[in-house]
């Protein structure tokens, strides 16, 4: 009997010890679980905070993307406007080049005309041209220099001689009466090869043949076999044919 009681006591003691060990293990496990739960909760809190921060950054990035898209659209519009202005400037530049080319051509043509008028003026002076003709050529040269077309007829001279068709006055006489300069030019119908009779008073002293015609005067060669006496300035010349 005593052995059985002793055995039971030992079993009970062992059971109590085992229960105590299991209790302490359970308590330690609970504490560990509580610690892990606290750590997990803290991590979850941090993750939630990080998620909120990430959401804020995402919102900021979306806003930045929207602003960048708007700015890109504005930049494209500005680029299109710049390209349009560049096209307009290219067109204006092409027009300016065309105008410059026309101006250069006009300038060259005017320079040629001025040179021609200078040559004509020099030729006129070299052939004893009358002062009226020289003045007319100088006016034409001045007009050409200022961009005006050289007139083909002098209005004043036409007005003066309109009442005397086929009649002219000797303005200059060449050496040995070889030729005369008449105030009868193309403005009044003078033509190469026309024959005129030169008279002093009622006497015909020579016949002259037009060999050079200018706007307001002409040069006529004296026919030697028709010359009677000396030709003078102021002699009257009448168109024969």
The model scores a pTM over 0.75: no
Residue 122 lies in a domain: no
CA distance 99 to 101: 5
CA distance 32 to 99: 96
The kind and range of the H/E element at 3 are helix 2-126
The kind and range of the H/E element at 132 are helix 131-145
pLDDT computed for residue 164 by the predictor: 55
Q: Last residue of some domain: 28, 62, 90?
A: 90
CA distance 172 to 169: 9
CATH code of the domain covering residue 159: 2.40.30.20
Could you report the per-residue pLDDT of 99-117, keeping only the tens digit for each? 888 778 777 777 776 676 6
Identify which of 219, 215, 236, 220 has the alpha carbon closest to the alpha carbon of residue 133.
215
Could you report the per-residue pLDDT of 128-164, keeping only the tens digit for each? 455 555 455 455 545 544 544 333 333 333 333 333 5
Residues 68 and 2 grouped into a single domain: yes
CB-based contacts of 152-158 (< 8 A; 24+ apart in sequence) = 152/186, 152/187, 152/215, 153/186, 153/187, 153/215, 154/187, 154/215, 154/216, 157/132, 157/183, 157/185, 157/187, 157/188, 157/216, 158/187, 158/188
Phi-psi region of 147 (alpha: psi -120 to 50; beta: other; left: phi over 0): left
Residues 80 and 11 grouped into a single domain: yes
Paired tokens of 189 = 């119908």
pLDDT computed for residue 171 by the predictor: 94
Supply the range of the domain harboring residue 180. Answer: 127-239
Paired tokens of 201 = 């008073």
Residues 133 and 228 grouped into a single domain: yes
The label of the residue with tokens 């919102």 reads 59
- Region 167-182: mean pLDDT is 92
pLDDT computed for residue 211 by the predictor: 95
Residues 77 and 177 grouped into a single domain: no
Residue 138 lies in a domain: yes
Q: What's phi and psi for 219, nearest 5 deg?
A: -110, 130
Residue 149 lies in a domain: yes
pLDDT computed for residue 158 by the predictor: 32
Q: In terms of pLDDT, which residue wins out, 75 or 164?
A: 75
Among 111-120, 122-131, 213-222, the range scoring the smallest mean pLDDT is 122-131
Among 50-59, 114-123, 165-174, the range scoring the smallest mean pLDDT is 114-123
Residues 8 and 82 grouped into a single domain: yes
Strand, helix or coil at 153?
coil
Residue 198 lies in a domain: yes
Instruction: Quote the number of domains for the chain.
Output: 2
Residues 234 and 132 grouped into a single domain: yes
């Amino acid at each position: 009997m005593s052995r059985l009681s002793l055995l039971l006591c030992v079993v009970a003691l062992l059971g109590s010890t085992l229960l105590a060990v299991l209790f302490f293990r359970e308590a330690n496990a609970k504490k560990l679980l509580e610690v892990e739960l606290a750590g997990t909760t803290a991590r979850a809190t941090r993750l939630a905070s990080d998620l909120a921060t990430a959401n804020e950054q995402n919102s900021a990035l979306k806003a930045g993307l929207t602003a960048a898209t708007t700015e890109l659209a504005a930049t494209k519009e500005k680029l299109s406007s710049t390209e349009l202005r560049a096209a307009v400037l290219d067109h204006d530049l092409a027009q300016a080049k065309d105008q410059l080319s026309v101006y250069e051509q006009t300038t060259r043509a005017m320079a040629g005309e001025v040179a021609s008028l200078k040559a004509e003026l020099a030729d006129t002076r070299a052939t004893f041209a009358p002062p009226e003709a020289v003045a007319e050529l100088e006016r034409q040269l001045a007009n050409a220099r200022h961009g005006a077309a050289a007139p083909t007829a002098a209005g004043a001279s036409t007005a003066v001689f309109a009442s005397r068709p086929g009649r002219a006055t000797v303005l200059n006489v060449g050496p040995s009466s070889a030729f005369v300069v008449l105030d009868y030019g193309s403005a009044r119908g003078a033509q190469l090869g026309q024959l005129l009779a030169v008279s002093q008073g009622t006497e015909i002293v020579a016949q002259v043949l037009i060999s050079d015609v200018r706007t307001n005067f002409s040069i006529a060669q004296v026919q030697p076999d028709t010359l009677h006496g000396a030709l003078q300035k102021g002699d009257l010349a009448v168109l024969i044919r």
